[in-house]
Amino acid sequence: MKLLKERILKDGVVKAGGILKVDSFLNHQCDIQLYNEMGKEFRRLFPEEITKILTIEASGIGIACVAAQYFGVPVVFAKKSKSQNLDGALYTSVVHSFTYQKNFTITVSKKFISAADKVLIIDDFLANGQALLGLADILSQAGAQLVGAGIAIEKGFQEGGRKLRAMGVNVQSLAVIEAMDEKTILFAN
Protein backbone atom coordinates (compact mmCIF):
# COMPACT_ATOMS: atom_id res chain seq x y z
CA MET A 1 0.00 0.00 0.00
CA LYS A 2 1.70 3.07 -1.37
CA LEU A 3 0.37 5.53 1.22
CA LEU A 4 1.61 3.45 4.16
CA LYS A 5 5.01 2.79 2.61
CA GLU A 6 5.51 6.49 1.90
CA ARG A 7 4.55 7.27 5.48
CA ILE A 8 7.02 4.69 6.84
CA LEU A 9 9.78 6.23 4.72
CA LYS A 10 8.81 9.73 5.87
CA ASP A 11 8.20 9.18 9.59
CA GLY A 12 9.50 5.72 10.49
CA VAL A 13 12.73 5.52 12.47
CA VAL A 14 14.92 2.43 12.54
CA LYS A 15 16.61 1.80 15.89
CA ALA A 16 19.31 -0.65 16.88
CA GLY A 17 18.10 -4.21 17.44
CA GLY A 18 15.77 -4.37 14.44
CA ILE A 19 13.23 -1.97 15.91
CA LEU A 20 11.13 0.15 13.55
CA LYS A 21 9.49 3.03 15.38
CA VAL A 22 6.25 4.12 13.77
CA ASP A 23 4.83 5.62 16.93
CA SER A 24 4.05 8.99 15.34
CA PHE A 25 1.28 7.55 13.16
CA LEU A 26 0.59 3.88 13.88
CA ASN A 27 0.95 2.66 17.46
CA HIS A 28 1.20 5.47 19.99
CA GLN A 29 -0.13 8.47 18.10
CA CYS A 30 -2.72 7.21 15.60
CA ASP A 31 -3.38 8.88 12.23
CA ILE A 32 -7.05 8.09 11.79
CA GLN A 33 -7.18 9.15 8.12
CA LEU A 34 -4.40 6.65 7.43
CA TYR A 35 -6.28 4.03 9.48
CA ASN A 36 -9.31 4.61 7.25
CA GLU A 37 -7.29 4.09 4.08
CA MET A 38 -5.82 0.94 5.59
CA GLY A 39 -9.32 -0.27 6.47
CA LYS A 40 -10.49 0.21 2.88
CA GLU A 41 -7.46 -1.67 1.62
CA PHE A 42 -8.08 -4.59 4.01
CA ARG A 43 -11.64 -4.81 2.69
CA ARG A 44 -10.30 -4.88 -0.91
CA LEU A 45 -7.81 -7.61 0.04
CA PHE A 46 -10.41 -9.68 1.91
CA PRO A 47 -13.66 -9.55 -0.10
CA GLU A 48 -14.78 -12.83 1.49
CA GLU A 49 -17.62 -13.09 3.97
CA ILE A 50 -16.32 -12.03 7.40
CA THR A 51 -18.40 -12.18 10.59
CA LYS A 52 -15.86 -10.92 13.15
CA ILE A 53 -12.55 -9.13 13.29
CA LEU A 54 -10.15 -10.41 15.96
CA THR A 55 -7.19 -8.39 17.21
CA ILE A 56 -5.03 -8.15 20.32
CA GLU A 57 -4.52 -5.29 22.73
CA ALA A 58 -3.28 -2.68 22.58
CA SER A 59 -1.98 -1.38 19.23
CA GLY A 60 -4.21 -3.56 17.08
CA ILE A 61 -7.45 -2.24 18.54
CA GLY A 62 -7.65 1.17 16.84
CA ILE A 63 -6.69 -0.20 13.43
CA ALA A 64 -9.21 -3.05 13.77
CA CYS A 65 -12.05 -0.78 14.97
CA VAL A 66 -11.62 1.70 12.11
CA ALA A 67 -11.25 -1.13 9.57
CA ALA A 68 -14.37 -2.87 10.93
CA GLN A 69 -16.45 -0.02 9.49
CA TYR A 70 -15.67 -1.36 6.00
CA PHE A 71 -16.74 -4.89 6.98
CA GLY A 72 -19.81 -4.05 9.06
CA VAL A 73 -18.82 -6.52 11.78
CA PRO A 74 -17.86 -6.32 15.48
CA VAL A 75 -14.27 -6.37 16.70
CA VAL A 76 -13.15 -8.72 19.46
CA PHE A 77 -9.82 -7.97 21.09
CA ALA A 78 -7.80 -10.59 22.96
CA LYS A 79 -6.72 -9.40 26.38
CA LYS A 80 -3.22 -9.67 27.74
CA SER A 81 -3.90 -9.19 31.44
CA LYS A 82 -6.37 -10.86 33.75
CA SER A 83 -8.88 -8.44 35.21
CA GLN A 84 -11.60 -9.26 37.71
CA ASN A 85 -14.00 -8.26 34.92
CA LEU A 86 -12.99 -11.30 32.87
CA ASP A 87 -14.93 -14.32 33.99
CA GLY A 88 -16.88 -17.19 32.52
CA ALA A 89 -15.53 -19.63 29.94
CA LEU A 90 -12.36 -18.41 28.24
CA TYR A 91 -10.13 -19.37 25.36
CA THR A 92 -6.47 -18.87 26.29
CA SER A 93 -3.15 -19.21 24.51
CA VAL A 94 0.40 -18.46 25.61
CA VAL A 95 2.27 -15.92 23.49
CA HIS A 96 5.89 -14.85 23.75
CA SER A 97 6.45 -11.15 23.15
CA PHE A 98 9.92 -10.21 21.94
CA THR A 99 9.03 -6.53 22.43
CA TYR A 100 8.23 -6.98 26.11
CA GLN A 101 10.58 -9.96 26.58
CA LYS A 102 8.08 -12.12 28.40
CA ASN A 103 5.23 -14.58 27.98
CA PHE A 104 1.63 -13.43 28.01
CA THR A 105 -1.48 -15.51 28.37
CA ILE A 106 -3.94 -14.03 25.90
CA THR A 107 -7.60 -14.49 26.63
CA VAL A 108 -10.86 -14.27 24.69
CA SER A 109 -14.29 -14.93 26.19
CA LYS A 110 -15.96 -17.97 24.62
CA LYS A 111 -19.14 -15.88 24.27
CA PHE A 112 -17.66 -13.89 21.40
CA ILE A 113 -16.14 -16.45 19.01
CA SER A 114 -18.04 -19.53 17.88
CA ALA A 115 -17.70 -22.29 15.29
CA ALA A 116 -20.03 -20.29 13.03
CA ASP A 117 -17.60 -17.35 12.79
CA LYS A 118 -15.52 -16.46 9.75
CA VAL A 119 -12.76 -14.37 11.26
CA LEU A 120 -10.29 -11.84 9.92
CA ILE A 121 -7.34 -11.17 12.22
CA ILE A 122 -5.99 -7.60 12.09
CA ASP A 123 -2.80 -6.38 13.76
CA ASP A 124 -0.27 -3.59 13.42
CA PHE A 125 2.91 -5.69 13.13
CA LEU A 126 3.95 -9.14 12.02
CA ALA A 127 7.52 -10.07 12.96
CA ASN A 128 8.05 -13.39 14.74
CA GLY A 129 4.37 -14.17 14.41
CA GLN A 130 3.84 -15.11 18.05
CA ALA A 131 0.74 -12.96 18.58
CA LEU A 132 -0.86 -14.18 15.35
CA LEU A 133 -0.12 -17.81 16.17
CA GLY A 134 -1.82 -17.29 19.54
CA LEU A 135 -4.87 -15.72 17.92
CA ALA A 136 -5.00 -18.51 15.31
CA ASP A 137 -4.78 -21.05 18.16
CA ILE A 138 -7.79 -19.43 19.85
CA LEU A 139 -9.79 -19.57 16.59
CA SER A 140 -8.85 -23.21 16.24
CA GLN A 141 -10.05 -23.92 19.80
CA ALA A 142 -13.33 -22.21 18.89
CA GLY A 143 -13.66 -24.17 15.64
CA ALA A 144 -14.01 -20.81 13.86
CA GLN A 145 -12.77 -20.25 10.31
CA LEU A 146 -9.64 -18.13 9.98
CA VAL A 147 -10.29 -16.27 6.73
CA GLY A 148 -6.98 -14.42 6.83
CA ALA A 149 -4.71 -11.98 8.58
CA GLY A 150 -4.49 -8.32 7.59
CA ILE A 151 -1.29 -6.73 8.83
CA ALA A 152 -0.12 -3.14 8.58
CA ILE A 153 3.65 -3.76 8.62
CA GLU A 154 5.36 -7.11 8.14
CA LYS A 155 9.05 -7.53 8.89
CA GLY A 156 9.69 -9.83 5.96
CA PHE A 157 13.17 -10.65 7.26
CA GLN A 158 11.70 -12.27 10.36
CA GLU A 159 10.02 -15.65 10.27
CA GLY A 160 6.37 -14.95 11.23
CA GLY A 161 4.97 -14.37 7.74
CA ARG A 162 6.70 -17.41 6.25
CA LYS A 163 5.55 -19.62 9.13
CA LEU A 164 1.90 -18.51 8.90
CA ARG A 165 1.75 -18.77 5.10
CA ALA A 166 3.26 -22.27 5.35
CA MET A 167 0.33 -23.14 7.62
CA GLY A 168 -2.00 -22.00 4.84
CA VAL A 169 -3.01 -18.68 6.41
CA ASN A 170 -3.86 -15.96 3.88
CA VAL A 171 -1.57 -13.22 5.24
CA GLN A 172 -1.88 -9.83 3.52
CA SER A 173 0.51 -7.14 4.72
CA LEU A 174 0.13 -3.55 3.56
CA ALA A 175 3.89 -2.99 3.75
CA VAL A 176 6.49 -5.76 3.82
CA ILE A 177 9.97 -4.68 4.86
CA GLU A 178 12.66 -6.79 3.27
CA ALA A 179 15.62 -5.13 4.96
CA MET A 180 16.30 -2.06 7.04
CA ASP A 181 19.08 -0.24 8.79
CA GLU A 182 19.42 3.21 10.29
CA LYS A 183 19.71 4.77 6.81
CA THR A 184 17.51 2.67 4.54
CA ILE A 185 14.20 0.87 4.58
CA LEU A 186 13.73 -1.54 1.69
CA PHE A 187 10.27 -2.88 0.86
CA ALA A 188 9.62 -6.32 -0.63
CA ASN A 189 6.36 -5.42 -2.31
Q: Which residues bind a second copy (CB under 8 A)?
A: 15, 17, 19, 21, 23-25, 27-32, 35-36, 57-58, 61-66, 68-69, 73-77, 79-81, 83-87, 99-101, 108-109, 111-112
Q: How far is the CB of 86 from a second copy (least distance, A)?
A: 8
Q: How far is the CB of 186 from a second copy (least distance, A)?
A: 21
Instruction: Closer to a second copy by CB, 152 or 166: give it.
Output: 152
Q: How far is the CB of 38 from a second copy (least distance, A)?
A: 12
Q: Which residues pair with 107 in a beta bridge?
A: 79, 92
Instruction: Closer to a second copy by CB, 62 or 145: give it.
Output: 62
Contact 78, 107 (CB under 8 A): yes
Contact 133, 169 (CB under 8 A): no
Q: How far is the CB of 101 from a second copy (least distance, A)?
A: 7
Instruction: Closer to a second copy by CB, 26 or 167: give it.
Output: 26
Q: How far is the CB of 132 from a second copy (least distance, A)?
A: 18
Instruction: Closer to a second copy by CB, 84 or 166: give it.
Output: 84
Q: 66-69, long-range: CB within 8 Å, 24+ apart, which pairs?
A: 66/32, 66/35, 66/36, 66/38, 66/39, 67/35, 67/38, 67/39, 67/42, 67/43, 67/122, 67/150, 68/39, 69/36, 69/39
What are the C-alpha distances in Å from 134 to residues 34, 54, 72, 104, 157? Answer: 27, 11, 25, 10, 20
| Rounded-to-integer distance, Cα 173 and Cα 171, Å | 6
Instruction: Closer to a second copy by CB, 119 or 166: give it.
Output: 119
Angle at 61 between CA 57 and CA 62, to 5 degrees: 145
